[in-house]
Amino acid sequence: MTADDLRETSAELAGRALELPELARAGTVAAYVSVGSEPGTLALLDALHARGVRVLLPALLPDNDLDWGAYEGEGSLARVQHGGRMALFEPAGERLGPGAVTTADAVLLPGLAVDARGMRLGRGGGSYDRVLARLERAGAHPALVVLLYDSEVVGRVPAEPHDRPVDAVVTPAGVRRFRPAS
């Protein structure tokens, strides 16, 4: 995709995601800053922030768990190189602890694909598996949403016993729900 294609897709995804009732009424959203060829998230982060939503962004810890910090606009991000892996954009301010995600009304999860059951395929580092387990242990039930390209919604992805389905996937073509909006 060209840079123009990526910007257009990012705007389409933001528009569709902002129409979700789960995001429309959310006071806190845990999200992420897209990297590489992932569907762009900055337009959505900025729109949520402009609405007055508290946006939490992850900071990768050495053990692949995630700490969280508040998003205060694009200037509040720092580019962080994690060893031989790709650089990530993380919140530059105060760290709120791994448990901060349990305060979220909705969690936007990165992924490589989602299948017809709502099972998400991640990058294999286990960071978001830990987030989902933390939410479950805390009895927190935020809406779980993945942002993907249309071609990344597939028939089936591999799933482990600890994997949990997401509630919805947002693509440029629309929203596909796996569980009704609560």
Hey, which residues does 154 pair with through a beta bridge? 115
- Other C-beta atoms closer than 10 Å to the C-beta of 55 total 25
Place of tokens 């992805």: 157
27 is in an annotated binding site: no
123 is in an annotated binding site: yes
d(CA 93, CA 146): 25
93 is in an annotated binding site: no
124 is in an annotated binding site: yes
Q: How far is CA 118 from the centre of its chain?
A: 15
126 is in an annotated binding site: yes
127 is in an annotated binding site: yes
d(CA 30, CA 103): 9
Q: Where are the beta strands (DSSP E) in the chain?
A: 28-30, 54-60, 66-70, 77-81, 87-91, 106-109, 113-115, 120-121, 143-147, 153-154, 168-171, 174-177
Binding site residues, as ranges?
33, 38, 120-128
Per the annotation, binding residues for substrate are 33, 38
Binding residues for ATP: 120-128
